[in-house]
C-alpha cells in the first residue's frame, strides 16, 4: 500500500524534508511542472508569440479579467538587451520592486503586481517573463568507494583550484577547512544573496541551515578533527561561499542565478573552475526556456565545470512511473554534470555500491535528456557540522564527535552529498591538468566511471513499509559510479569545444519499439559530440556494452524496462498510438492526483 509519509509523526528519517519544504508541497511542485505543457493556453497572443511564460497563464487570466485584487508575483524578466536605468524606471512605474539584477541573462528579478502582466506582455523590449521559482537543497565511505587515495598518493589534492559552493553558506571557522598550517581558512570569500541574517542566536555564522558546510566538507575538508577519517575528496582546494539558500534551506531562481553570475565575475580572482549546486526544483518548461538553465550554461561557456544534484524523487511514482522522469532543474540541462546517489551497503568497495532508491531517474521532463550522467556515494555520509544551524539543532542524534569530543561532524543522505564528491574529483583533475575544458572533464569522468553491471536491486525502507526495485539502465545510473583513480589516470581528450560532451536525449520509435540516443543539439553538430560512434569513443565505452548495443540503441527488448506492458514504460513514453497518453509524465501531459511514497533519507534502506 502506498503511504504519504507526511501524514505520520516525523522521525529522523524524515530529516531532509526541510530541503524541499513540506512533502505534500513537493508532490504539487513536481506534478505542476509536468502538467504545464497540456494545461497552458497557446503561446501565441495578439498575433505574436507571448513573452509571458506558460506557468503564468493563470495570473495573466486574472489580470485580464480584473480579478487579481492587488496580488503580486515574483518573476524573472529577461530583456532583448541588458536592461538599463530606463527599463528599471519603467518597471517601477508599473509597481514592480527590483530584487536582483541578472545582467548575465539580460534580466532582473522583480516582484510585480499581477495586473502589470499585460503591460509586460506588450513591452517590445521584454524577451520573456517567468516565475522566480523557489529552490531548495538536495540532501552522504565516499573516498574508499571512488578510489580517491590513488589521486592523493600521486600528489593531487585540489590545491589552487577554486570551487564555488552555491548553497546555504559555509561555516569557515571549522578547522577541517583551514589551510595546511592550520592558521587560516580556505574559505576565501563570502557573499549572501538571500537578504536574510547570516548569524543566529545559537552561534551559527554564515551557514544557518547546516547543509552548505556539509557539502563543503565533502569537497574540501581535510579531516583535521577526525584524524583524517572524514576527509573530503580535494582536501586542499579553495572554497568560495555564495549563499543562495536561507536558514530553512530555501531560495529562489534569482538568488541562485545571482550567485552563479558572481562566480563568473570572481572566476579569475579566485581561480574558480567548478560550481557545486546541491539543490534543485521542478521542471516547468524545456531547459532552453529556463533562466536557471541558461545561467548554468553561461558558467559552462565561461570555462567553469558545473556539477548538479539529480534530485531525491526516485521513489515518487506518478501513474506507475516508478520514479522515472523525476530529474530536477538545473540538472536537466545537457551541458552540466548531473549526479545521482548510491549507497555503500556497509562496504568500502565500488562493487558493493548500489543505487539509492531515492535518487531521481531520467529522462528529463519535456526534453528527454539522458540523465543522470554519473553516480557517487550519497547515503549516510559523514561530513562537517555547522553547530547551531537548523539541521544540527533539529537532529542531534545525527551529530558525530570529532577527536576533540565536540559536535564536529554530521550525517546526511541524498544526491546533495553525491554531487560534491564529483565536484571534488573535478578539482583533482584540474589540478593535474589545468587546461581541461568543462566538456573534457565531464567526458573523462563519464568514460572512466565504474560500470554498474547489476541487473536490478531491491531496497526495503522500514519507515515507509515498502520495497523499491531499481533496474540499472541509463536513466537510472547514467555512465556508472565515480572512479577518481581511473579519471586522474586517464589521458583521453574529448574535443575542446563547448558542448562536445552534451548529454544525449532519448527518442522512442513507436513502430519498432526501440529507444535510441540522439547526440548534439541545434548548435552542436552530432558529429562533434564525444559520445558519437565516429568520434573519440563510442556509446558502449561510456555507458557499458550491456546497456548500449547496436546503432545507438539504448537497450534491447530483453531488458525488462523496455516492455510496453509495464506501466513505467507507458507512462514515460506514452501510448502505442504515437501520441502521448493521458498519463504520460515525461511528455508533459496532464497529471492529476499524484500518490506517492518517498523519502530522501537513503541510509535507512535494508
SS3 content of the chain, % helix, strand, coil (to 5): 30, 20, 50
Q: Which of 301, 261, 267 is nearest to 101 (CA)?
A: 261
User: Where in 253-397 does DSSP place strands (E)?
Assistant: 272-277, 279-280, 305-309, 337-343, 354-355, 374-377, 381-384
Per the DSSP assignment, residues forming a β-bridge with 274 are 163, 305
Residue with cell 545571482: 258
Per the DSSP assignment, residues forming a β-bridge with 307 are 276, 337
3-state secondary structure 479-496: CCECCHHHHHHCCCCCCC
**Pairing relationship of beta strands 399-400 and 381-384 according to DSSP bridges:** unpaired
**Residue of 211, 360, 368, 379 marked catalytic:** 211
Integer Cα distance of 124 and 223 in angstroms:
56
Is 463 annotated as catalytic? no
**Residue of 167, 172, 290, 398 marked catalytic:** 167
State the burial class of residue 181 (Cβ atoms within 10 Å of its Cβ: 0-12, 13-18, 19+).
Answer: exposed
**Pairing relationship of beta strands 134-137 and 250-252 according to DSSP bridges:** antiparallel
User: How many CB atoms within 10 Å of residue 467?
Assistant: 12
Integer Cα distance of 360 and 337 in angstroms:
14
3-state secondary structure 212-233: HHHHHHHHHCECHHHCCCCECC
Contact status, residue 371 vs residue 415, Cβ threshold 8 Å: no
**Residue of 54, 416, 500, 583 marked catalytic:** 416
81 grid coordinates: 538587451
What are residue 441's phi and psi, to 5 degrees?
A: -65, -50
Is 416 annotated as catalytic? yes
Helix, strand or coil for residue 157?
coil
Integer Cα distance of 500 and 523 in angstroms:
11
Contact status, residue 284 vs residue 300, Cβ threshold 8 Å: no
Contact status, residue 361 vs residue 475, Cβ threshold 8 Å: yes
Is 413 annotated as catalytic? no
Per the DSSP assignment, residues forming a β-bridge with 399 are 410
State the burial class of residue 49 (Cβ atoms within 10 Å of its Cβ: 0-12, 13-18, 19+).
Answer: exposed
Query: Which residues are the active-site residues?
Result: 167, 211, 416
Amino acid at each position: 500500500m502506498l503511504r504519504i509519509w507526511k501524514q505520520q509523526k516525523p522521525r529522523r528519517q524524515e530529516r531532509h524534508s526541510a530541503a524541499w519544504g513540506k512533502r505534500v508541497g513537493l508532490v504539487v511542485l513536481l506534478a505542476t511542472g509536468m502538467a504545464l505543457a497540456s494545461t497552458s493556453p497557446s503561446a501565441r497572443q495578439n498575433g505574436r508569440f507571448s513573452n509571458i511564460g506558460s506557468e503564468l497563464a493563470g495570473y495573466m487570466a486574472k489580470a485580464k479579467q480584473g480579478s487579481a485584487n492587488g496580488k503580486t508575483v515574483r518573476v524573472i524578466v529577461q530583456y532583448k538587451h541588458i536592461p538599463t536605468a530606463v527599463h528599471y524606471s519603467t518597471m517601477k512605474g508599473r509597481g514592480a520592486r527590483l530584487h536582483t539584477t541578472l545582467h548575465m541573462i539580460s534580466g532582473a528579478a522583480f516582484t510585480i503586481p499581477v495586473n502589470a502582466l499585460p503591460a509586460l506582455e506588450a513591452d517590445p523590449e521584454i524577451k520573456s517573463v517567468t516565475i522566480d521559482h523557489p529552490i531548495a537543497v538536495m540532501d552522504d565511505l565516499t573516498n574508499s568507494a571512488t578510489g580517491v587515495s590513488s589521486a592523493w598518493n600521486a600528489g593531487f589534492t585540489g590545491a589552487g583550484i577554486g570551487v564555488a559552493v552555491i548553497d546555504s553558506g559555509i561555516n569557515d571557522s571549522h578547522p577541517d577547512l583551514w589551510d595546511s598550517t592550520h592558521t587560516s581558512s580556505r574559505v576565501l570569500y563570502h557573499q549572501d544573496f538571500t537578504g536574510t541574517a547570516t548569524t543566529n542566536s545559537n552561534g551559527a555564522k554564515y551557514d544557518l541551515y547546516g547543509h552548505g558546510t556539509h557539502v563543503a566538507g565533502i569537497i574540501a575538508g581535510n579531516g583535521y578533527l577526525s584524524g583524517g577519517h572524514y576527509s573530503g575528496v580535494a582536501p586542499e582546494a579553495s572554497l568560495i561561499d555564495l549563499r543562495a539558500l536561507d536558514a530553512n534551506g530555501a531560495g529562489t531562481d534569482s538568488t541562485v542565478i545571482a550567485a552563479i553570475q558572481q562566480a563568473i565575475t570572481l572566476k579569475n580572482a579566485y581561480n574558480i573552475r567548478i560550481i557545486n549546486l546541491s539543490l534543485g526544483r521542478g521542471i516547468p518548461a524545456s531547459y532552453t526556456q529556463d533562466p536557471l538553465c541558461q545561467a548554468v550554461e553561461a558558467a559552462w561557456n565561461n570555462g567553469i565545470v558545473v556539477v548538479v544534484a539529480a534530485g531525491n524523487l526516485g521513489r515518487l511514482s506518478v501513474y506507475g512511473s516508478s520514479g522515472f522522469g523525476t530529474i530536477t532543474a538545473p540538472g536537466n540541462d545537457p551541458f552540466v554534470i548531473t549526479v545521482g546517489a548510491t549507497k555503500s551497503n556497509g562496504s568500502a568497495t565500488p562493487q558493493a555500491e548500489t543505487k539509492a532508491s531515492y535518487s531521481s531517474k531520467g529522462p528529463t521532463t519535456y526534453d528527454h535528456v539522458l540523465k543522470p550522467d554519473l553516480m557517487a556515494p550519497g547515503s549516510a555520509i559523514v561530513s562537517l557540522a555547522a553547530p547551531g544551524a537548523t539541521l544540527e539543532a533539529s537532529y542531534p542524534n545525527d551529530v558525530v564527535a570529532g577527536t576533540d569530543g565536540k559536535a564536529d561532524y554530521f550525517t546526511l543522505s541524498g544526491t546533495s552529498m553525491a554531487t560534491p564528491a564529483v565536484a571534488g574529483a573535478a578539482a583533482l583533475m584540474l589540478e593535474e591538468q589545468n587546461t581541461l575544458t568543462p566538456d573534457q572533464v565531464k567526458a573523462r569522468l563519464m568514460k572512466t566511471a565504474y560500470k554498474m553491471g547489476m541487473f536490478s536491486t531491491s531496497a526495503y525502507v522500514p519507515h515507509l513499509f515498502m520495497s523499491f526495485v531499481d533496474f540499472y539502465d541509463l536513466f537510472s545510473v547514467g555512465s556508472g559510479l565515480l572512479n577518481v583513480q581511473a579519471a586522474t589516470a586517464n589521458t583521453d581528450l574529448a574535443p575542446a569545444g563547448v558542448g562536445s560532451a552534451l548529454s544525449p536525449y532519448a527518442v522512442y520509435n513507436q513502430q519498432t519499439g526501440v529507444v535510441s540516443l540522439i547526440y548534439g543539439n541545434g548548435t552542436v553538430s552530432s558529429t562533434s559530440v564525444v559520445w558519437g560512434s565516429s568520434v573519440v569513443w563510442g556509446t558502449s565505452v561510456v555507458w557499458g556494452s550491456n546497456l548500449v548495443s547496436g546503432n545507438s540503441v539504448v537497450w534491447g527488448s530483453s531488458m525488462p524496462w523496455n516492455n510496453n506492458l509495464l506501466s513505467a514504460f507507458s507512462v514515460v513514453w506514452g501510448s502505442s498510438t504515437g501520441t502521448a497518453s493521458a498519463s504520460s509524465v515525461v511528455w508533459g501531459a496532464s497529471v492529476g492526483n499524484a500518490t506517492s511514497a518517498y523519502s530522501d533519507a537513503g541510509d535507512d534502506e535494508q
